[in-house]
Amino acid sequence: MKKIPLLLMGCGGVGRQLLHHIVSCRPLHSKQGIRLRVVGVCDSNSLVLASDVSTKELDDASLMEVCRIKSSGSSLHSLSNFGDCQVFSGQEVVKKAIDIADRFGKSTGLAFVDCSASSKTVEVLNQVADLGCCVVLANKKPLTASLEAYDKLVSHPRRIRHESTVGAGLPVIASLNRMISCGDPIHCIIGSLSGTFGYVMSELENGKPFSKVVNAAKSLGYTEPDPRDDLSGMDVARKGLILARLLGHRLSLENIKIESLYPLEMAPNVLPVEDFLVNGLPLLDKDIQDRITKASSKGKVLRYVCLIENNRCEVGIQELEKDSPLGRLRGSDNLLEIYSRCYREQPLVIQGAGAGNDTTAAGVLADILDFQDLFS
């Protein structure tokens, strides 16, 4: 039985779903001769470790208790009296996590998994990669940090996986890496990388006002509690930057043209979320409808897309042909059109569910298992 020690950072929706996947897949992995041995789980304040990480793991009951506690909004610190585990808090968290990485990096290896949403994990990830550990990311922020930090992180290509940072579980990163490694130059990528924007733009085609569509998307759980977190375009820009850097473009977020679907005077630091939903959104209806009407008069449709071409990356609304893959897109799916030497006239199209905790966590799990040959 090949055992893969694992330490998880981040116990939000994706992190908890990953733990559920690990537990539910025990019978399957046993048949495959694999055991994912979760030795530690941490949130922003606390780290829970097995009592002896060298020989023991957090059992499945402890992992489910972690999920229950975090779902209730509590801290992992409350696990200090639960089962056979040890809990660290404050400044001890990072120090202990690095100690664990150092110990396993010199022996069996360790899968260090970042399912947080923090911009502060990049330094830890670089340290554990230097120590010989494998790094798996669902968190986009380390890959969109400074170019210096990015270069250091990806300098260990055999020990880093981040498929779930773009398109959740869709094979976007893997497909691009295969094309790059076989010498098929990629000229252009254009894609709908947000389930929220995909839903909004396709619903607008049905004649519904922008304000009502956004409120409906919020009620369906397609947006963050404050929809402006999605409508700002920043999440799409981060995904675009990850893809652009993968293609070799030396870009930072500051170099990306980002179209927000709300003006600065409606920003979160100016207008409370309820005021934005009730009073702000309806003021945007006419402008959006005018753009839809203009595009329709040309036989085109509007899509919120990311475009990477000629060493530039931009995100925003574009008019597209109705019969193009993106023009035909409906609902919350992600879709990318990839143009290269081999796919010059007919692009490589990748489409499917590109959001959701279940899909994203499944992609993370697949990335972890992709490392199995590196573990002794």
pLDDT of the residue at 376: 72
Just list the catalytic residues: 239
Q: Where are the domains of the chain?
A: 2-169+358-374, 186-353
pLDDT of the residue at 354: 81
Say which CATH class 2-169+358-374 falls into.
alpha beta
pLDDT of the residue at 317: 97
Q: Tell me what percent of the chain is helix, strand and coil, each rounded to the nearest 5.
A: 45, 20, 35
- Asked if residues 236 and 194 have their Cβ atoms less than 8 Å apart, the reply is yes
pLDDT of the residue at 221: 82
Tokens of 36: 């994912």
The position carrying tokens 């998307």 is 217
- pLDDT over 70 for what percent of the chain? 99
Going residue by residue through the chain, which has 376 residues, state the pLDDT in tens, using 9 for 90 and above. Answer: 899 999 999 999 999 999 999 999 999 999 999 999 999 999 989 999 999 999 999 999 999 999 999 999 888 888 876 777 899 998 899 999 999 999 999 898 999 999 999 999 999 999 999 999 999 999 999 999 999 999 999 999 999 999 999 998 899 999 999 999 999 999 999 999 999 999 999 999 989 999 999 999 999 888 888 999 999 999 999 999 999 999 999 999 999 999 999 999 999 999 999 999 999 999 999 999 999 999 999 999 999 999 999 999 999 999 999 999 999 999 889 999 999 999 998 999 999 988 889 999 999 999 999 999 988 7
Which residues does residue 257 pair with via DSSP β-bridges, in sequence order?
Answer: 314
Per-residue CA distances from 56 to 29, 30, 39 (Å): 18, 17, 7
- pTM of the predicted model as reported, rounded to 2 decimal places: 0.95
Superfamily of domain 186-353 in CATH is Dihydrodipicolinate Reductase; domain 2 (3.30.360.10)
What is the full DSSP assignment across 236-290?
Answer: HHHHHHHHHHHTT----GGGSEE--SS-GGGSTTTS-HHHIIIIIGGGGHHHHHH
